């Protein structure tokens, strides 16, 4: 039985850099990966989807180029080439990540499935056969999450797609039904609609983006429906069946019953942590009622020396949060700092077109907290850069403290919304109040320059 100073389970966006840094700090380290180095982000999430979304954006821009005086004619896609480009980028990123691990002195990469057999002991079912037992002083769980499969009659009898398997289809679906009207479902829905699919989005709540403010959700709903995407809300799916040619869904929307025929169904109704097969009952690590690993503010579980990072621990399920988890744990253990996850900023961006960049609290949250706040809002149709580039869909919105003039949060539904949001995040980090941004000198003509006009709305 081999003993290590540190073992990381899962070579995702927290596990891989942590393993390398621990090894570079002189710790004898192993990282165990059951599938592919790079985790969800590189293999099934950010990298492949954003590569394909870029292709979908090019289709859309080509079709609307006539508004800019450019006549392109018929626009055709080569889906095999789109998929190949995506696969090549994923392979490039994955190979680079794996090479980085293999070139790190004192770090061993093990391909296999790890399971706790005692508190600090793991049994690994090796991918190439056989079994190995290892122990460590520190163990880091970075096993991520997977698609949540809802309980729907007949679902287990059909060939449904997930956010992972849809990346491997060889042709554009004729009619794609997306179950779930949040970030994953909306990105895929718009993408395949632009590739030529008929798309229907089914959402169980009263509207898409249930966690966002109503004006943001309504604006995106209008944008998507204008692209001929069908959005059905208040949905209960009674049954799904399949014959040789098609899928059949029986649904209820409010009091209305409806039957939908589709070629493909994508499940995008949430994610669940991958903890079921870790044997955590053998080491005593506690889980919440949804299966997430419970951690304290320094990401340590109830068992000293066992930590959890990334999506498996619950909370915001974003790559950048997982990466920040790594930096907190590493600096605390090796550099003896005292960083915690308490009150850290949680920015995120949904890559629909236009993008939705978010930071801080929403207006809905400000209202629930009974804060003395004000809202600044400007439609993109009033943004000079947007008008010049024909990117006028969406809006900029900020929530500010009426007394201190601090920025409490922002939602930017706009072309390059994530980049604009990041400027406001930096202002929030630096304590820069909205009145200073109101008169700040930004380069003209940029999207960010319109933050002057956004906060000008608060002059009265």
| pLDDT tens readout for residues 288-321 | 999 999 999 999 999 999 999 999 999 999 999 9
Bridge partners, 237 (sequence order): 251
Name the 3-class secondary structure at 124.
Answer: strand
What DSSP element (H or E) covers 48?
helix 46-63
Establish whether 444 is a catalytic residue.
yes
What is the reported pLDDT for 245? Answer: 87
Q: Could you tell me the two tokens for 267?
A: 């499940």
In 3D, which of 453, 329, 323 has the Cα closest to residue 396? 453
Residue 2 DSSP one-character state = E
Rounded Cα distance between 4 and 107, Å, is: 10
What is the reported pLDDT for 1? Answer: 87
| pLDDT tens readout for residues 315-344 | 999 999 999 999 999 999 999 999 999 999
- Strand pairing of 247-253 and 235-242? antiparallel
- Strand pairing of 247-253 and 2-9? unpaired
Instruction: Tell me: is residue 203 an annotated ligand-binding position.
Output: yes
| Neighbouring C-beta atoms of residue 252, cutoff 10 Å | 13
Q: Which residues contact 74 (CB under 8 A, 6 or more apart)?
A: none
What does residue 52 show for φ and ψ, rounded to 5 degrees? -75, -35
Distances (CA, A) of 333 to 1, 101, 300, 337: 25, 20, 11, 7
pTM of structure: 0.95
Instruction: Tell me: is residue 69 an annotated ligand-binding position.
Output: no
Q: How far is CA 244 from the centre of its chain?
A: 34
> Whose structure tokens read 């039904």?
177
Share of the chain above pLDDT 70, in %: 100
What does residue 253 show for φ and ψ, rounded to 5 degrees? -120, 105
Instruction: Tell me: is residue 180 an annotated ligand-binding position.
Output: yes
What DSSP element (H or E) covers 395?
strand 395-401
Instruction: Tell me: is residue 311 an annotated ligand-binding position.
Output: yes
Rounded Cα distance between 107 and 103, Å, is: 8
Mean pLDDT of all residues belonging to the chain: 97
What is the reported pLDDT for 18? Answer: 98
Instruction: Tell me: is residue 367 an annotated ligand-binding position.
Output: no
Q: Annotate 230-243 with DSSP letters as a single string.
A: EEE-SEEEEEEEE-
Catalytic residue, from 3, 175, 342, 444: name it. 444
| pLDDT tens readout for residues 133-185 | 999 999 999 999 999 999 999 999 999 999 999 999 999 999 999 999 999 99
Instruction: Tell me: is residue 184 an annotated ligand-binding position.
Output: yes
What does residue 414 show for φ and ψ, rounded to 5 degrees? -165, 165
CB 334 within 8 A of CB 314: no
Domains of the chain (ranges plus CATH)? Answer: 2-145+272-334 (3.50.50.60), 155-269 (3.50.50.60), 354-457 (3.30.390.30)
> Whose structure tokens read 């000198």?
441
What is the reported pLDDT for 244? Answer: 86
Instruction: Tell me: is residue 50 an annotated ligand-binding position.
Output: yes
Q: Which residues contact 149 (CB under 8 A, 6 or more apart)?
A: 155, 267
What does residue 284 show for φ and ψ, rounded to 5 degrees? 90, 5
Q: Could you tell me the two tokens for 450?
A: 């319109």
Instruction: Tell me: is residue 395 an annotated ligand-binding position.
Output: no
CB 267 within 8 A of CB 150: yes
Q: Which residues contact 412 (CB under 8 A, 6 or more apart)?
A: 355, 356, 357, 358, 394, 396, 397, 418, 420, 421, 424
Rounded Cα distance between 5 and 24, Å, is: 12
Average pLDDT over residues 217-237: 98
Radius of gyration of the chain (CA): 24
| pLDDT tens readout for residues 30-73 | 999 999 999 999 999 999 999 999 999 999 999 999 999 999 99
Instruction: Tell me: is residue 270 an annotated ligand-binding position.
Output: yes
In 3D, which of 81, 99, 90 has the Cα closest to residue 46? 90
Average pLDDT over residues 414-426: 97
């Amino acid at each position: 039985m081999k003993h290590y100073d540190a073992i990381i389970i899962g070579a995702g966006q927290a596990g891989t850099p942590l393993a390398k840094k621990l090894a570079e700090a002189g710790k004898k380290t192993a990282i165990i990966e059951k599938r592919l180095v790079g985790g969800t982000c590189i293999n099934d999430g950010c990298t492949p989807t954003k590569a394909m979304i870029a292709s979908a954006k090019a289709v859309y821009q080509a079709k609307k180029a006539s508004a800019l005086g450019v006549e392109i004619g018929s626009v055709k896609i080569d889906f095999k080439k789109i998929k190949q480009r995506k696969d090549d980028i994923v392979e490039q990123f994955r190979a680079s990540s794996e090479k980085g691990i293999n070139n790190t002195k004192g770090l061993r990469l093990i391909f296999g499935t790890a399971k706790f057999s005692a508190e600090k002991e793991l049994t690994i079912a090796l991918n190439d056969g056989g079994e190995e037992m290892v122990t460590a002083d520190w163990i880091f769980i970075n096993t991520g999450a997977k698609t949540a499969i809802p309980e729907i009659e007949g679902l287990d009898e059909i060939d449904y797609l997930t956010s992972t398997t849809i990346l491997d289809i060889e042709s554009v679906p004729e009619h794609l039904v997306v179950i779930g009207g949040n970030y994953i479902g909306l990105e895929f829905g718009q993408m395949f609609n632009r590739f030529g699919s008929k798309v229907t989005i089914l959402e169980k709540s009263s509207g898409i983006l249930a966690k966002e403010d109503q004006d943001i959700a309504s604006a995106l709903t209008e944008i998507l429906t204008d692209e001929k995407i069908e959005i059905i809300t208040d949905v209960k799916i009674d049954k799904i069946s399949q014959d040789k040619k098609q899928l059949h869904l029986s649904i209820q929307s409010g009091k209305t019953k409806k039957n939908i025929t589709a070629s493909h169904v994508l499940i995008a109704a949430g994610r669940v942590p991958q903890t079921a097969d870790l044997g955590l009952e053998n080491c005593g690590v506690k889980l919440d009622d949804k299966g997430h690993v419970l951690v304290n503010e320094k990401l340590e579980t109830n068992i000293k020396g066992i930590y959890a990072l990334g999506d498996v621990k619950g909370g915001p399920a974003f790559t950048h949060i997982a990466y920040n988890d790594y930096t907190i744990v590493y600096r605390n253990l090796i550099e003896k700092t005292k960083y915690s996850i308490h009150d850290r900023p949680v920015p995120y961006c949904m890559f629909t077109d236009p993008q939705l960049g978010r930071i801080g609290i929403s207006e809905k949250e400000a209202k629930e907290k009974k804060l003395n706040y004000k809202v600044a809002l400007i439609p993109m149709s009033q943004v000079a850069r947007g008008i010049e580039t024909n990117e006028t869909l969406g809006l900029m919105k900020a929530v500010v403290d009426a007394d201190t003039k601090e920025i409490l949060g922002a939602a930017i539904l706009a072309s390059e919304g994530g980049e604009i949001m990041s400027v406001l995040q930096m202002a929030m980090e630096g304590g820069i109040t909205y009145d200073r941004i109101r008169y700040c000198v930004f380069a003209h003509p940029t999207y960010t320059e319109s933050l002057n006009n956004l906060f000008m709305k608060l002059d009265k």
